[in-house]
Chain A
Amino acid sequence: METIEKRMLTGNKAMAEAIALEMERDPTVFVLGEDVGKYGGIFGSTQGLFDQFGADRVMDTPISETAFIGAAIGAAAEGMRPITELMFVDFFGVCMDQIYNHMAKIPYMSGGNVKLPMVLMTAVGGGYNDAAQHSQTLYATFAHLPGMKVVAPSTPYDLKGMMISAIRDDNPVVFMFHKTLQGLGWMDQLDASISHVPKEDYTVPLDKANVVREGKDVTIVGLQMTMHYALEAAEKLAEEGIEAEVIDLRSIAPIDKETIIKSVKRTHRLIVVDEDYLSCGISAEVSAIIAEEALYELEAPVKRIAVPDVPLPYSRPLEQFVLPNANKIYDEAMKLINEW
């Protein structure tokens, strides 16, 4: 019998390994951001890189996001491949001008004559009571604005493969990693935050969703934590004889319409789960795709589970009330099957 050796890595180590491999391969790749040096990134995204590559290529910055994200843009325009970290996505407010009016638009405004091969990586997500200014995902805020690829990988395997793709991509890529899926010792320890990761370099495309569980009764679309909740709900639904198909969106811009439409054509029911705010978000986008392109495939209304339109509250019972979870998905799926 052939055995496959598993190489288990946490999300953060998978990311850091991807960056290290690319830095070895390509001298134009460098990292800059707050506490990315000796500390290794607050959420471990650059763990070990400082020791391996030194301060010239793994640069700590002052708390000056406008300056260092803007500098990454300037360096990228000169042909470097900077990876810059916005510590929490919530901090985008102080530097959104550089991100959106410059990083996202310069390639377009130059008629394609200026390329910005850079990665803006940033930590997203709540669930650990960090309150309104440190718990958002803001997936849709970035995906709404044209000119940036926006990805949000859900597994260590994809974190590595999509990071390598992001670094090699000639466009600006916003790379959102979920704090709870980094596998950090000081947060919730989830099985989902550790998995087999091949040692060598490999790429995962930046525009393809992933069907992580096949089923015929209902399609559940999620990403990062909500995809893992969907899988958990699907296990429970299976005990009731309901087979849910779970799609890991992975890429938010561009969004992989084809995979979603194909799935709904098979299951005829759709639930979209999102850790972002409900209105004008990914759940609306996915619903609109189906309304436009597969409306008559539906045998039931589309259901959305997302953060109701309130900021993330601090207190545990309040935060748990607004965040999606496996039970909410299970209940919604049961209703969708039983009532339609």
Chain B
Amino acid sequence: MSMTRERINIPVEKLKWMYETMVKSRYYEDVMVEAYNEGKKPVFNIGAGPVPGEMHLSTGQEPAAVGICAHLTKDDTVTSPHRPHHHAIAKGVDLNRMTAEIFGKVTGLGKGKGGHMHLFDPEVKFSCGGIIAAGIPHAVGAALAAKKKGKDWVAVAFVGEGAANAGGFHESLNLAALWKLPLIVVVEDNAYGISVPKSGSTAVASNDLRAAAYGIEGAYVRNNDPIEMYLASEEAVRRARNGEGPTIIEIETHRYLGHFQGDPEMYRDKEEVPNLRKIDPITKIRDLMLSEGIATEEETAQIEVRAKKDVDDAYHFARESEYPAPEDALKDVFSS
């Protein structure tokens, strides 16, 4: 697909922010791959190393996060599933404390209690969780609260395409439509629910079509395109802020890594990911900025350095932080 200047109806600063955030997000996951592998070689053991447990990385899925978060402020809510890093970064979650949480440190967002699937940063109204589709009703609640408070805030629930087949998806959208809530459900279609391809889990071609079932709007973004995602989101967020109700946006995106780190990925062709990487959205947006004269080589290089420094700083903060005292496990069950 060609991108012409006419099509890029996006403020330059937004475009640069999207680029920087995608670079940061991608580099974050690269660093996380290394950190996660530490202590897990030569024998992989999910419980070993400085970052144990399941690790679901978002490499390749950055366009979904930046395309819509470019329209959000810290007053808007984002809920995210088990693969949350790109959403958290795009929403402006404190990178140091997020990383410390992933390393299980006391300086983490949840003092080490939550881990990578359970990040909560109320400062920027971000949360995520490990149960499929469970974040959608929470976003409905946030949207309801915004409406009750008379604010023009919106709530965005990110889910994978697999979640569209879970009961929580339907109940939430029906309710949000009924109450005309400022909710946007972003379905990241990365083609697989763990090993099961989309075609093996639903007879619906794309999940924006389901919008008709709830009497709301739907949009579909092809080719993992951050620009198209930005434009579709702009319209959905505008409608939500104007009290015109919910939208489903499905984006065709790509998961370059396994469902979790250590996934043998027997369910997909070995050539699939290398081919996808050839049409990488970060490269595409960089080429676009250069060819359209939006940024120079020097500028993009500066952006990259800045983005990576944020990640490196967060990494060092996390590594240097202390573990919680073991008996702290008993705290925080109830608020005191």
Contact = CB atoms under 8 A, between A and B. Distances in A.
Contacts, number: 151
B215 interface: no
A308 B328 CA distance: 12
B330 A308 contact: yes
A91 interface: yes
Contact of A62 (B44, B130, B202, B329): B202
B104 A133 contact: no
Contacts of A321: 326-327, 329
A202 interface: no
Interface stretch (B4-12, B46-54, B245-253): B46-54
Given A314-B104, A316-B104, A62 B162 contact: yes
Interface in A290-325: 308-311, 313-322
A316 B323 contact: yes
A39 interface: yes
Given A63-B132, A133-B117, A315 B323 contact: yes
Nearest to B193: A63
Given A314-B114, A315-B113, A321-B326, A130 B194 contact: no
A26 interface: no
Given A134-B130, A308-B330, A317 B114 contact: no
B115 A315 contact: yes
Contacts of B105: 315
Contact of B112 (A93, A128, A133, A318): A318
Interface string A42-71: 100000000000000000111111110000
Interface string B172-207: 000000000000000000000111100011100000
A94 B329 contact: no
Given A127-B47, A320-B326, A314 B194 contact: no
Contact-residue size bin, chain B (C-beta under 8 Å from the other chain): 35 or more
B276 interface: no
A185 B112 CA distance: 27
A132 interface: yes
B163 interface: yes
Nearest to B115: A314
B167 A129 contact: no
B243 interface: no
A177 to B, nearest CB: 16
B118 A133 contact: yes
A288 to B, nearest CB: 25
Nearest to B166: A63
A61 B168 CA distance: 16
B144 to A, nearest CB: 21
Report the 5 A-B pairs with minimum CB-CB distance, sorted nearest first.
Answer: A315-B104, A314-B115, A315-B112, A128-B47, A62-B165
Given A134-B130, A315-B112, 13 more contacts: A34-B193, A62-B196, A64-B166, A91-B131, A94-B131, A94-B132, A94-B168, A129-B47, A129-B115, A311-B333, A315-B115, A316-B104, A320-B326
Interface of B: 43-47, 52-54, 101, 104-105, 108, 110, 112-115, 117-118, 129-134, 162-163, 165-168, 193-196, 200-202, 262, 266-267, 323-330, 333
